[in-house]
A and B are shown apart, each in its own frame.
Chain A
């Protein structure tokens, strides 16, 4: 009897400690995530410039949104940018990871060189790319001229500004490359050797063993990169401010302009809610699709 009550006392103490230990996050979650998300719903139903008090306008922001041409432009640009940078970035990261997974002398130096740009991502490097894309004296067009191509105006050309941002994003594939590299090193060597003995050529081994074995990682990289790409802000803000025209007006930038340049808090909140829903649905679709191509090892899972 005594010991039983002592056990439950210990249990109670452990429960209490659990709440105490996680309390920083719990408080933070309510104050900085859950609370603001709920508040964003209410703000999106108002017209509010912060200086005066909010005016309740119901669904008007959402109705206006569907008549807003720039909204559609931002959506299309973001879809284009996300599709381009995620697809190309993932494929390139995988190819580089496969190349760097070879046992060669000095391979770690190469890994560092490919990895480095993804670490330095910041304003400094964004300004550097502004200089690289300089139509007259930039590095990009200089190299194109070496092979006889007259390079485009890049960030000053409505057709080339967004591709320029996509190309720039490929420079930062290093961290995804590292993730793939680790996944490749986890593929059981016996499996590949057994297949080789059975006469499977290198292409079939890659397609039928390596890819399925690393498919959970590919999936995770796709999901995380999509969420990240959809929110891209700093690059277009620093480089083009959405221009020329609205050619690089990405969704995150449009929210920022509405909220902090034009002080349309209600409208910006409505925009951000649409973004939330889109990101959520995209993630859901990726999860649904993953069932058909992602292979999870059964039993003995980690």
Chain B
């Protein structure tokens, strides 16, 4: 009797595990399918792309879609432009946001909490509202069709990153800087020599978010960059889609190439990435 109960329970738990795996597996397959389809299309000649039923395994794989697609438009130039913007913005974000976060996390001022609430609330302002006045401002400054509208603002902080770094700084033991203060250390030295070296994980999180945000940014470059030699990858791809839409193989090849760095960085640094998302989501 007892043994029968036990084996029944065992059976149910096995069944439960199998069903779970099945459901999770089918879902994961559906989520992965578009990527596989993208890769498959990118390796096929025209006459194999527009067929029914679709051929999943390109035989033989047509690797030349990659160099041909990449050179149909000056993607090397687009890549260079994108990298200039991405690297500048990453450095700008790291420096400005960590400075501001230190101020909000470690220094006392009667207005501090009010200002921080203000900072948080600016995260909810739709971009469309500031987009038009900013365009007019940049136009007056002669910044249109330069990288400046994209590369200057990151040096002035970004609320979500400031928020993330402040949360992290506040978690560091206060005794560290108090001891340093007694030794006569200035806030600058505490920030630079104590807080920043301890905050590498949080800085890595900000760096990854900054990279991805700027790599994928579409609206900014679309509005501010008008001549093709200034284009970034994102709007270059859009141009590609407009001009050569029927060249599906080329287009998918270039798409794979632009998504690839994102996937690689994501896989390498997944933990930092998740930390940022979770911190933003749970403690907000």
A231 to B129, CA, bound (A): 11
- Would B37 and A128 count as touching, CB distance under 8 A? yes
Q: Of B129, B241, B273, which is within 8 A of A238 by CB? A: B241
Q: Are A279 and B156 in touch, CB under 8 angstroms? A: no
Cβ-defined contact, B153 with A32, below 8 A: yes
A76 to chain B, nearest CB (A): 18
B62 at the interface (CB under 8 A from A): no
| B28, B34, B130: the one within 8 Å of A128 (CB) | B34
Task: List the B side residues contacting A120 at CB < 8 Å.
Answer: 259, 262-263, 266
| CB under 8 Å from chain B, chain A span 101-122 | 102, 104, 107, 110, 112-117, 119-122
Of all chain A residues, the one with the shortest Cβ separation from B242 is: A238
In Å, the complex CA distance between A233 and B237 comes to 16
Main secondary structure of the interface of B (DSSP, over half): helix
Kindly count the residue-residue contacts between A and B in the assembled complex, taking CB atoms under 8 Å apart.
261
Q: Would A116 and B266 count as touching, CB distance under 8 A?
A: yes
Whether the Cβ atoms of A15 and B109 lie closer than 8 Å is: yes
* Cβ–Cβ contact A24 & B54, under 8 A: no
Instruction: Name the distance in Å between A104's Cβ and chain B's nearest Cβ.
Output: 6
* Contact (Cβ within 8 A) A116 B263: yes
Complex formed: what's the CA distance from A18 to B112 in Å?
A: 8
Contact (Cβ within 8 A) B128 A25 = no
Query: How far, in Å, is B215 (CB) from chain A's closest CB?
Result: 7
| Contact in complex: B137, A36 (CB < 8 Å) | yes
Bitwise interface map of B from 193 to 214 toward A, beta carbon under 8 Å scored 1, else 0: 0000000000000000000100
- The answer to whether B130 and A37 have CB atoms under 8 Å apart is yes
Which one of B20, B27, B126, B259 lies within 8 Å of A276 (CB-CB)? B126
Assess whether A29 is interfacial by the CB under 8 Å rule: yes
Residues on the A chain within 8 Å of B28, using CB: 110, 113-114
Check A25–B157 contact: CB distance below 8 A. yes
Contact between A28 and B153 (Cβ–Cβ < 8 Å)?
A: yes
Q: Give bound CA distance, A142 to B49, whole Å.
A: 13
A239's nearest neighbour on chain B, judged by CB, is B241
Please, which residues of chain B bring their CB within 8 A of the CB of A29?
A: 118-119, 122, 156-157
Cα distance A123–B284 in the bound complex, in angstroms: 29
B20→A279 contact, CB < 8 A? no
Q: Are A272 and B252 in contact (CB under 8 A)?
A: no
Residue of A whose beta carbon sits closest to that of B186: A17
Bound complex: CA of A102 vs CA of B18, how far in Å? 12
B125 at the interface (CB under 8 A from A): yes
Instruction: Tell me the chain B residues, 92-133 only, with Cβ under 8 Å from chain A.
Output: 96, 99-100, 102-104, 107-109, 112, 115, 118-119, 122, 124-133
Pick the contact of B34: A99, A122, A139, A217 (CB < 8 A).
A139
Given contacts A268-B132, A275-B126, contact A96 B27 (CB under 8 A): yes
| Closest-CB distance, B88 to chain A (whole angstroms) | 15
Q: How far is the CB of A243 from chain B (nearest CB, A)?
A: 14
Given A33-B122, A137-B54, A259-B131, do A123 and B109 touch, yes or no (CB 8 Å)? Answer: no
Instruction: Supply 12 A–B pairs (Cβ within 8 Å), ascending by A.
Output: A113-B32, A114-B31, A123-B218, A128-B34, A131-B252, A137-B49, A139-B37, A171-B34, A178-B278, A259-B131, A268-B132, A276-B129
New contact pairs (7) apart from A50-B136, A272-B131, CB-CB < 8 Å = A117-B31, A123-B238, A124-B256, A137-B54, A178-B274, A179-B282, A186-B282
B residues with a Cβ closer than 8 A to A are 17, 20-21, 23-25, 27-28, 31-35, 37-38, 41, 49-54, 96, 99-100, 102-104, 107-109, 112, 115, 118-119, 122, 124-137, 139, 153, 155-157, 159, 162, 187, 191, 212, 215-216, 218-219, 222-223, 234-235, 237-238, 241, 248, 251-252, 254-256, 258-259, 262-263, 266-267, 270, 273-274, 277-278, 280-284
List of 3 A-B pairs having minimum Cβ-Cβ separation, nearest first: A28-B156, A21-B103, A179-B281
